């Protein structure tokens, strides 16, 4: 399973640490921009208001064995949470097969 | 005195060089903040430049260089530059050029103060604060040291602005940071510099401009200017190397450390530039690198969020420079002796000038910042801070 | 379902607007580079020709309930289309489970 | 199937060439950062050591017909391999449906 | 006249300062275009610099400053700088230095014109156009105002190039934009500036270089240079602030607006720099910020794709500056009176010079651009435009 | 001789201009390397600047300009600048200013050498190498050409450093590249420049600074400075255009090619700047662009990884410039005749000076690099190289 989490960039450090404690090291990250159901953040200022559509987020892909999926999701969810709007989402996506390029072997 | 074209040429270009330092501070700081605040940080310097440019010709110059009132402030005789002629019996350069030269010192000082506001200031309140600060803090301090005020009368030496520019802005940034408080999330997660090359560019332009700052302060194209030029460079180099080496012992020698050390060396030599020898400048710079690095480490450990380090570099570097001027001044260079040549009085005068400037700048800034904060609110809302000042204050994005 | 669309950057604005009209607000975007079956764009100039392999595109991920997948795809497809080579692709990828980090709740 | 490969940036050229030889042209790439089971690279220096967590990688998405998945994976795996730690991973992810935006047609 | 080393020093460094403005225009514009055209935009400035540098020494200088032919153009006496000696009886500086100083004005003018070509010009055709333009538009205009042409004879004042540099380039950019047409997709989707810090860097270097431009135009290191220096700075500051405030009322005060205002102020003070007082310079700059901002808004609403706004800032700012010179010139500064001091003739002379330059630049550019477009094709193909000029014209990528 | 304020002003600002060239080399090179090594490349220039600044005042200056010992090296009389007074009977500027002016030449030369180390050097070993190189290669070469050494006595002309700065650094970079070997993966996959705008910025600042370099080398604000200024600019422009056109024939005219051509033109005119006419400068620059471009193509084909091309541009451009000085020197400009005016001796003297500098720089650098490599290890580990020098040497990331 691929656990695809979209989190606040500033929570990445925690997420990484917590996953590491659980022995989950492999992951791929990148900067993305996102908006949720609130359509971003609305700022007001003298003379008008302004909607900031897309907020920078970090996307984290962690591929784990199926039986680890739930636990991994739990860990990320807890480590990434601040409780405020914008904490992000986690999607679990099936992985049919998985390989290690260096050795050519199939991983679990 | 007849106008001297060589002196005038040197002052003209020195003024341009120092002008460049204000945006250079913006680039230096801009590279140190998070990506969402880069434009804001650079823009603050530009805004400061524009604001103080107008303030200075309207009332700033006369407060600093008008006829002395009680050793504290200049009178209003030159309001709007009224009565500043095109030539002067006392100077080999046009008086208006002196106004321009002093103007760019006032702007860069205010730009350094923006350090304390980084990534969290409301633009409108900042503008009000900046006008108040330059009027109530910078102008008096410039008067004390250069405009005929008490420090000048007392014999305190400040060649190019160690107290006026660096101590004042460094301690003001500290006061500001205390009033506006830490950035949201500070101490909880890392906030890494997002554009180190931009900071390196700022550093290069600062180093370049500093030759106008220090050697231009000779107010002549002569041997004092030449000395000031070379000691400036040597001190910067020594500061860069000492910080580099000190930080290497503790970990990796970062490029940011190196340029911070260079700025520390430049700051420390500023008050001393026309008074000390080349060997002394190496010591002044090297010690500055070590002192400022230590202050930065202490600042980090203390959890204080004055994270662009105007305090540790300009404030403490300036303090060291002011004292060092009182220590290393050599009669052979410019007629003034310091502690090493047995002149205790010079050291006392310099210490007095430095600590008075420090206390005045810190306390008045604290009050000003508090007042502006309580009336207008210096700080943006939590959401604006989260989104970043580029978007929330300027509607722009890197 | 995750609707993964690779579109022209300059169509993003339309896509976003059209989705919004349909009440679909959440999405994650990022800049990518792509080439299609035409292997990019070939430019000719005096003395030779030059193949621009990878063209900047915007990747849009929209996770929606399964029953919304088709409609979402339609909307994006229409909004992103210019009719010229390079309009991009849409891939529908299954999402096994989906969570909201802030609340920890599972989304449909 | 979407073949999602995370490879060394400097191998991209080879991967592209090999795929092209096999008639596979369409792909989408982007820069990502990753760490594997070795938790990145550890550098030692006088006075300490330093762990470089995230190493720049290139993520390549190639969507192919299901029967091509294995062959595509093989090609990428061979072209991306250097045999040293950090060669990356390949994940095969199911694609439910796939469209071409320009024409609106569904691709195989 | 004996060579004066101070004057020569000031002209040497002024020439270097103005030289820096040409790449600075490149960076200013480069930050405003889309990512795929940044290199192209910067490269155009460099190419202009190289081309005009050669053109100027070969035939440009003599067309501008050769012996007057009918008030319109200079004769070919100095072709290839033939006969330009190392000293001159009329000047306190080497004549070759004057050639160099004027050269950098010609280059930066051509660089401003690249605004109208942004993101869609074919490099080869541009090179042909640039050679024609600098020869047929810039050189005559320089002759009119400074080389002994009719405008100079008529008493039209242009201290540092309000008509020659700014009106000409601004209206030329407009003509070019009309000929090459809108960028593909213009008006359909937003085309946001992709590198605002780069534009801010360009602005900083422009402001810096402008001191050489205006104060250097005194052709001496004296009180006129000092005045020109300070009014230049004050006008820029006032322009920055007025645009900032005006745009704040309508929305967010962007950093781009602020620096656009600064450039507007710099442009407007250019023809006036040696003739007006400090208070006048504040008014000139502030009004320039407002006028140019209004022109930009109008340009946007009109759907005209002259999107780097050479027209609204240089063209209209230059026009305002030329008129303002005729209004605010003060006898106390440099012996010339304007409208305010009751000299209607000066205003008329300046208006005549400005509008003649405007009309000439606009019409001749229109014809030149049309001719080059019809023969060589000024515009890249649709695919090249889509891919971007960096790749399609230079084979490079940011 | 009495101190001349105009000359002093020009030398002060020229020194500042040349100072800026050292970080400018850093930015020029920084943009050419891969993203993971940008900071490292810029930092090397800053480190060089700091190191050589200290070395020069301690012992470098006296080795170069101390009393001649056997035509090869200067004596230690001025160790620590001991005995350098504030005025001098021989010069119109303060002697300390000459020290500063020469200092910035030494720093930029060392900065150019970093080309050969790009993306693979261990910082600690580099620092040791740099100190050795500037002491054992630069200081003697400066003595030969300018400090009273054999080349000067022999009549070899080098106005601003064609041999001392460019041949020496270019061939040193070649030697270094041979010793440290190719970057991992070189020849296997493309290593594209990752920040072309940064390189363009470096080029702009180099061009700007070069006016101080060449026109400042007149050591006076006079007609020779003016000539040097203008031929410098013209040669750069011609080099930019000739490289642009030559590369256009083979493919796309890249912006990097154009600025490389400009640097080639600047390098080639450096030894000739005070001796040749404007038309000659166009030829020198245009030929420099073609020669250096050809050398770069050869270097690429040969598989040599001196990929920032200090050798092909500075080394070969400098060699061409030294020979061209011997060919084109015109008595009308500065009293010296070259081959074209029938003075074979001048050509021989210049060729001798150039090839001696070339051989000395290449061989001594080869030995130094080898020694440092065998003792300390000039090259980082494979893993450090893979991760990049920014992280592995500085702990920083762009
Ligand atoms: N339906 C969705 N599809 C894809 N990504 C989504 C979706 N909804 C939310 N996201 C991603 O999750 C991020 C956080 O969303 P959310 O917690 O709703 O906060 P916000 O409203 O502040 O964006 C978004 O910025 C976006 O990147
Ligand atoms: N098989 C594929 N796998 C992944 N991405 C693809 C594939 N085919 C196309 N794409 C993506 O879609 C984009 C548009 O493709 P297409 O419409 O064929 O136009 P073009 O030939 O101009 O790239 C590509 O740039 C690429 O990002
Ligand atoms: N479990 C995983 N989930 C997602 N991505 C992974 C995982 N494991 C490895 N990767 C990706 O593959 C890349 C290479 O991993 P690997 O070959 O183990 O080398 P390294 O230890 O040097 O990172 C990683 O940088 C990361 O981007």
Q: Is the confidence at residue A48, as pLDDT, over 80?
A: no
pLDDT average, residue stretch E92-117: 97
* Record: contact D50-B249, CB cut-off 8 A: no
- Spell out a b/e string for F275-306, using b for 16 or more CB atoms within 10 Å of the CB, else e: bbbbbbbbbbbbbbbbbbbebbeebeeeebbb
CATH number listed for the domain at residues F5-394: 1.10.3430.10
Contacts of F36 in chain D (CB under 8 A): 56
Q: Quick check: helix, strand or coil at residue A3?
A: strand
Q: Which of E17, E203, E278 sits opposite B81 (nearest CB)?
A: E278
Task: Answer for the pair B150, B72: CB distance below 8 angstroms, yes or no.
Answer: yes
Neighbours of chain A (3+ CB pairs under 8 A): B, C, D, E
- CB of C11 within 6 A of ligand 2: the answer is no
pLDDT average, residue stretch B97-103: 98
pLDDT of residue D49: 73
Residue of A nearest to B124 (CA): A46
Percent residues over pLDDT 90 in chain F:
96
B251 touches chain D (CB under 8 A): yes
The tens digit of pLDDT for each residue in F199-222 reads 999 999 999 999 999 999 999 999
pLDDT of residue D45: 66
The tens digit of pLDDT for each residue in B277-323 reads 999 999 999 999 999 999 999 999 999 999 999 999 999 999 999 99
Structure tokens at F166: 């460019």
Nearest-CA neighbor of E20 among E161, E205, E201?
A: E205
B249 touches chain D (CB under 8 A): yes
Residue D95 DSSP code = -
* Record: contact A20-D35, CB cut-off 8 A: no
Q: Cα–Cα distance between A54 and A44 in angstroms, integer?
A: 16
Phi, psi (deg, nearest 5) at residue E241:
-70, -40
Contacts of D48 in chain B (CB under 8 A): 251
The tens digit of pLDDT for each residue in E172-228 reads 999 999 999 999 999 999 899 999 999 999 999 999 999 999 999 999 999 999 999
HSE, CB side, 13 Å, CA atoms: give it for residue B367: 8
**Nearest residue by C-alpha to atom 5 in ligand 1:** C27
Residue whose tokens read 């050489």:
E212
pLDDT of residue E2: 86
Q: Is the confidence at residue D36, as pLDDT, over 90?
A: no
Q: Relative to the alpha carbon of C41, which ligand is closest?
A: 2
Say if E and D touch: at least 3 Cβ pairs within 8 Å.
no
The tens digit of pLDDT for each residue in F120-151 reads 999 999 999 999 999 999 999 999 999 999 99
pLDDT of residue E99: 98
Neighbours of chain D (3+ CB pairs under 8 A): A, B, C, F
pLDDT of residue E89: 79
Neighbours of chain F (3+ CB pairs under 8 A): B, C, D, E
Percent residues over pLDDT 70 in chain F:
100
Say if B and C touch: at least 3 Cβ pairs within 8 Å.
no
* Record: contact B249-D47, CB cut-off 8 A: yes
Specify burial of residue A41 (Cβ count, 10 A radius: 0-12, 13-18, 19+). Answer: buried
Give first-to-last CA distance, chain C, whole Å. Answer: 11
Q: Cα–Cα distance between B171 and B181 in angstroms, integer?
A: 15
- E245 Cβ contact list (under 8 Å, min separation 6): E253
pLDDT average, residue stretch D76-100: 96
pLDDT average, residue stretch C57-86: 96
pLDDT of residue E122: 97
The average confidence (pLDDT) of chain E is: 97
pLDDT of residue A64: 97
E131 touches chain F (CB under 8 A): no
- B300 Cβ contact list (under 8 Å, min separation 6): none
pLDDT average, residue stretch B91-110: 97
Contacts of F229 in chain E (CB under 8 A): 12, 15-16, 96-97, 100
Q: Is the confidence at residue C38, as pLDDT, over 90?
A: no
Q: Cα–Cα distance between F53 and B303 in angstroms, integer?
A: 36
Task: Answer for the pair B26, B45: CB distance below 8 angstroms, yes or no.
Answer: yes
Total-model pTM: 0.98
Percent residues over pLDDT 90 in chain B:
96
Residue of A nearest to D95 (CA): A94
Q: Is the confidence at residue D108, as pLDDT, over 90?
A: no
Contacts of D5 in chain A (CB under 8 A): 101
pLDDT of residue A38: 79
Which residues does residue A33 pair with via DSSP β-bridges, in sequence order? Answer: A56, C29
The tens digit of pLDDT for each residue in B327-360 reads 999 999 999 999 999 999 999 999 999 999 999 9
Helix axes B196-216, B223-250, angle to 10 degrees: 150
Q: Which atom of ligand 1 is closest in space to residue A55's alpha carbon?
A: 25
Q: Relative to the alpha carbon of A95, which ligand is closest?
A: 3
The tens digit of pLDDT for each residue in E218-275 reads 999 999 999 999 999 999 999 999 999 999 998 899 999 999 999 999 999 999 999 9
C23 touches chain F (CB under 8 A): no
Output Rg (C-alpha) for chain C, integer angstroms: 17
Task: Answer for the pair F4, F93: CB distance below 8 angstroms, yes or no.
Answer: yes
How close D67 comes to chain B (CA, Å)?
Answer: 44
Q: How confident is the model at residue F348 (pLDDT cuts 50, 70, 90)?
A: very high
Q: Is the confidence at residue F178, as pLDDT, over 80?
A: yes
Ligand 2 mutation target, pool D2, D15, D26, D93, most atoms within 8 A of CB:
D26
The tens digit of pLDDT for each residue in F219-265 reads 999 999 999 999 999 999 999 999 999 999 988 999 999 999 999 99
pLDDT average, residue stretch E92-98: 96
- CB of D102 within 6 A of ligand 2: the answer is yes
How close F284 comes to chain B (CA, Å)?
Answer: 31
Q: Which of A10, A50, A56 sits opposite B395 (nearest CB)?
A: A50
* Cα F90 to ligand 3 centre (Å): 69
* Record: contact A45-E252, CB cut-off 8 A: yes
* Record: contact B392-A43, CB cut-off 8 A: yes
The average confidence (pLDDT) of chain F is: 97
Residue whose tokens read 């912006």:
F255
In chain B, where are the structural domains located? 5-394
Tell me the ipTM for this assembly.
Answer: 0.97
Ligand 3 mutation target, pool D33, D34, D51, most atoms within 8 A of CB:
D34
CB-based pocket (< 6 A), ligand 3: A 26-28, 61-63, 102; D 6, 34-38, 55, 57, 85-89
Q: How confident is the model at residue D46 (pLDDT cuts 50, 70, 90)?
A: low
Residue of A nearest to D31 (CA): A30
Structure tokens at F366: 């080869």
Q: Relative to the alpha carbon of C72, which ligand is closest?
A: 1
The tens digit of pLDDT for each residue in F349-390 reads 999 999 999 999 999 999 999 999 999 999 999 999 999 999
* Record: contact C43-E189, CB cut-off 8 A: no
Structure tokens at B217: 């302060």
Residues 171-200 of E with CB under 8 A from B: 192, 195-197, 200
pLDDT average, residue stretch F286-307: 97
C56 touches chain E (CB under 8 A): yes
Residue B149 DSSP code = -
Distance between alpha carbon B328 and the CA centroid of its chain, in Å?
Answer: 21
Taking the alpha carbons of B345, B347, B350, B355 in that order, is the dihedral positive or negative? negative
Q: Cα–Cα distance between E355 and F328 in angstroms, integer?
A: 47
- CB of C81 within 6 A of ligand 2: the answer is no
Contacts of E6 in chain F (CB under 8 A): 5-6, 9, 221
Specify burial of residue D83 (Cβ count, 10 A radius: 0-12, 13-18, 19+). Answer: exposed
* Record: contact C28-A32, CB cut-off 8 A: yes
pLDDT of residue D47: 57
Q: Which of A93, A97, A102 sits opposite D87 (nearest CB)?
A: A102
* Record: contact A10-B185, CB cut-off 8 A: yes
The average confidence (pLDDT) of chain B is: 97
């Amino acid at each position: 399973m691929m656990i695809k989490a979209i989190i606040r960039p500033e929570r990445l450090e925690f997420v990484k640490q917590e996953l590491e404690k659980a022995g989950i090291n492999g992951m791929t990250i990148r900067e993305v921009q996102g908006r949720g159901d609130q359509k971003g953040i609305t700022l007001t200022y003298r003379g008008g208001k302004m909607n900031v559509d897309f907020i920078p987020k970090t996307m984290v892909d962690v591929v784990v064995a199926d039986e680890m999926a739930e636990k991994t999701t739990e860990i990320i969810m807890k480590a990434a949470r601040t409780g405020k709007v914008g904490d992000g989402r986690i999607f679990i996506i099936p992985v049919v097969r998985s390989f290690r390029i260096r050795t050519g072997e199939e991983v679990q | 005195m007849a106008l001297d074209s060589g002196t005038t040429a040197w002052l003209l270009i020195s003024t341009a060089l120092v002008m460049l330092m204000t945006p250079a501070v913006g680039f230096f700081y801009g590279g140190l903040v998070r990506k969402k605040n880069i434009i804001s940080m650079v823009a603050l310097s530009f805004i400061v430049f524009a604001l103080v440019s107008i303030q200075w010709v309207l009332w700033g110059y006369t407060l600093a260089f008008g006829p002395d009132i009680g050793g504290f402030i200049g009178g209003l005789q030159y309001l709007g530059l009224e009565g500043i002629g095109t030539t002067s019996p006392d100077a080999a350069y046009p008086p208006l050029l002196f106004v321009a030269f002093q103007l760019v010192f006032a702007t860069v000082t205010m730009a350094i103060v923006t350090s304390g506001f980084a990534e969290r200031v409301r633009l409108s309140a900042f503008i009000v604060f900046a006008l108040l600060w330059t009027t109530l803090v910078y102008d008096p301090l410039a008067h004390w040291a250069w405009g005929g005020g008490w420090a000048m009368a007392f014999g305190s030496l400040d060649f190019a602005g160690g107290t006026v520019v660096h101590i004042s802005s460094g301690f003001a940034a500290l006061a500001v940071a205390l009033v506006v408080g830490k950035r949201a999330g500070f101490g909880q997660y890392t906030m890494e510099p997002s554009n180190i090359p931009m900071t390196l560019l700022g550093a290069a332009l600062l180093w370049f401009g500093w030759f106008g700052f220090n050697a231009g302060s000779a107010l002549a194209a002569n041997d004092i200017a030449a000395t000031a030029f070379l000691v400036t460079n040597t001190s910067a180099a020594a500061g860069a190397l000492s910080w580099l080496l000190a930080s290497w012992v503790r970990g990796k020698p970062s490029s940011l450390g190196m340029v911070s050390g260079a700025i520390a060396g430049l700051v420390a030599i500023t008050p001393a530039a026309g008074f000390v020898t080349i060997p002394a400048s190496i010591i002044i710079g090297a010690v500055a690198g070590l002192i400022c690095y230590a202050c930065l480490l202490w600042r980090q450990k203390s959890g204080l969020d004055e994270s662009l380090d105007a305090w540790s570099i300009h404030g403490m570097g300036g303090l060291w420079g002011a004292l060092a001027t009182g220590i290393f001044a050599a009669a052979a260079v410019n007629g003034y002796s310091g502690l090493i040549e047995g002149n205790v009085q010079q050291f006392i005068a310099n210490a007095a000038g430095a600590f008075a400037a420090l206390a005045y700048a810190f306390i008045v800034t604290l009050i000003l910042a508090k007042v502006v904060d309580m009336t207008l609110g210096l700080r943006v809302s939590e959401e604006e801070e989260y989104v970043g000042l580029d978007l929330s204050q300027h509607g722009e994005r890197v």
